[in-house]
Amino acid sequence: MKQVEERILSLRKELHEHNYNYYVLDEPTISDYDFDQRLRELASLEKAHPTFYDPNSPTLRVGGSVTKDFPTIVHEFPMYSLDNAYDEEELYDWEKRIFKLLGTDSVTYSCELKYDGASISLIYNNGVLVRAVTRGDGVQGDDVTQNIRTIPTVPLQLRGNYKDRFSIRGEIILPIQGFHDMNKTREENGEEPYRNPRNTASGSLKLQDSALVAARPLQCFLYQMIAARPLFSTQMESLDAARNYGFNVPQNNKHASSISEVIDYITYWNKERTNLPYEIDGVVIKVNDISHQEELGYTSKSPRWAIAYKFKAESIYTTLQSIHFQVGRTGAVTPVANLEPVHLGGSIVKRASLHNADHIEKLDLYINDRVAIEKGGEIIPKITSVDKTKRSPNAVKVKYITHCPDCDTELIRIEGEADHYCPNVDACPTQITARIQHFISRKAMDIDGLGNETIELLYRQRLLHSYADLYTLTYNQLIPLDRLADKSVNNILKAVEDSKEIPFERVLFALGIRYVGQTVAKKLAVHFGSIDAISVATEETLIDVDEIGTRIAQSVVTFFSSLSNQHIIDRLKTYGLQLERDQDLDQSLSNKLSGQRFVISGVFSTYSRNEIQKLIEDHGGKVSSSLSSKTTFLLAGENMGPKKRVKANELNIKILSENDFLIMI
């Protein structure tokens, strides 16, 4: 038995190495026949000796497992989206922000191609692939591990000296030739061809039969290693290490010492991208120094240390047939252009965004105009110009509506804002249903089983008029409705009941207060502790919360001054929702730093920056991202930018070393 185990382990190791040589290095060291013979031997041994089963065996590359459901997994590290730049000026503006935050005027960059596919997060523990999760909403995604294991360029077992546990981010792509080959086969079989490589790659990840995934020529390009504490000093170093571990990291990245060199890289690949065997839609620029990345941190949506330069989108002309107006949950009215269907960027485009009244006026639009459309960020179609030479003399000028398309209330426009709003907050049907749809969404109350159509049906049946009504729904009310069977009704009622355990900061976000996103909701929840404290807060006390400005403060005060909102919140209290922050979350180690505001800068030896931030908060202090007159201490590590030290001295802010801080707590 010992000899069998040794032979199985030896074959697995050898086949992993051959896979790497063939698919990643494109340098096969064995014939296909010899590879297949070894694979068959391994499969035979594994079948005869199931006690040696390994989920990462090379024999499982061919797939065969069937997955009915793809469990939702919370990412160990959030998968943020990237801010976009479309011209050189935006890149220089981004660099200025970096210089200001770091207090320096010298930063180098990593330039990488922006692959056009489906984002994936791979988790490795002790050199073995343990999980693969789609991006999802950035906070949580779907577990697609079985399907990812079939992709040859995803290493199942790492080579060399690997770290204990880390995540690596990448993109699942479908090479252009492979895409064409798939479509040729489909057309020969009388099937509809796929629209584009990106959507086909993304759809492949959720196929239930992993053998079908294995049959597709998918590849995985990796670009970012992440762990609880930094693994490397620079992004370039991490890419080299990833290659050595066996990851498929293209060699076309570049180290740039200035934005000027970044622009040279962009210019080159904007011309050469058509010669690549796969699609790209831009270039990703990252601050190369990992300590600088840590110091720059993140906004609520994006890393401050990275930006995506998007190549100019494909543009095409079509006819503007009509315009309709949509009402959102905040009452904002958005004009949408209905177009003569046209093929653009791999999909059929029938509609395009027109943003607001100013945009329509700037374009000088008429019905039946020939309009140029492109995909903004190559995702959302938009109208960019009008061919006025093709305009009919009888054409009718587009006029922005004066009344709400749903409730006929006269629209208002707040001074300084571009949008028009329907002020009929409590009776406009679309606003009501949209608020409920926001309330039940995954990032808010996560009430599964209630889709948008069901919410609209319940509203029409007068079973819902606000999100508080969700908690009075009964089985007998739901079971007669179309498309709702016994099991689905019970699932809905259970999900509504389970939502009562959702923590306070998510309930606050779910209320749909204008300008209060997830990050702001958490800051308010931590600062005030309860819905009652927030409801009586003044504009001045709200602005005193870190990173809460006048616009947010005014919106919060307006929301809680509404009698109807007060009534809804009183009802939510009676239904048992979490409207206070869990005191266990706020148990501090001490209050030694109460009233103290810190800015953290540089690299530290004893703790990571995240650990230091938690220590400050656990001892009652607060952490800000930038120096101001409200800052009490600048906690300075190694490699802190000199400009920050100068500014701290100018503002008479005391500078602490890591040792000073540890003594303090």
Enzyme catalytic residues: 114
The CA angle 140-78-636, to the nearest 5 degrees, is 160
Closest among 406, 459, 519 to 138, alpha carbons compared: 519
Q: How many CB atoms lie within 10 A of CB 256?
A: 20
Q: How many CB atoms lie within 10 A of CB 405?
A: 15
3-state SS of the chain: helix, strand, coil percent to 5? 40, 20, 40
Tokens of 605: 């030896």
Q: Which residues contact 46 (CB under 8 A, 6 or more apart)?
A: 8, 52, 53, 57, 59
| Cα separations in angstroms, 298 against 83, 176, 223 | 11, 34, 18
Using CA atoms in the order 290, 291, 293, 294, what is the torsion angle rounded to 10 degrees?
120
Say which residue the tokens 């639009």 belong to: 365
The CA angle 250-252-253, to the nearest 5 degrees, is 100
Tokens of 234: 């620079």
Transcribe 512-557 into DSSP letters.
Answer: T-TT--HHHHHHHHHHH-BHHHHHT--HHHHHTSTT--HHHHHHHH
Using CA atoms in the order 645, 663, 629, 616, what is the torsion angle rounded to 10 degrees?
110
Q: Which residues pair with 383 in a beta bridge?
A: 373
Q: Which residues contact 144 (CB under 8 A, 6 or more apart)?
A: 70, 120, 132, 133, 134, 205, 206
Sheet holding 109-115, edge to edge: 84-85, 306-310, 280-287, 109-115, 254-256
DSSP-derived letter for residue 170 is E
Q: How many CB atoms lie within 10 A of CB 80?
A: 16
Q: Cα separation of 596 and 500, whole Å?
A: 35
Residue type, 167: S
Q: Cα separation of 427 and 406, whole Å?
A: 10
Q: Cα separation of 621 and 616, whole Å?
A: 5
State the angle between helix axes of 2-19 and 32-48 in degrees (0 to 180), rounded to the nearest 10. Answer: 140
Closest among 119, 111, 265, 115 to 176, alpha carbons compared: 115
Cα radius of gyration (the chain): 28
- The phi, psi pair for 210, rounded to 5°, reads -65, -20
The CA angle 257-262-264, to the nearest 5 degrees, is 115
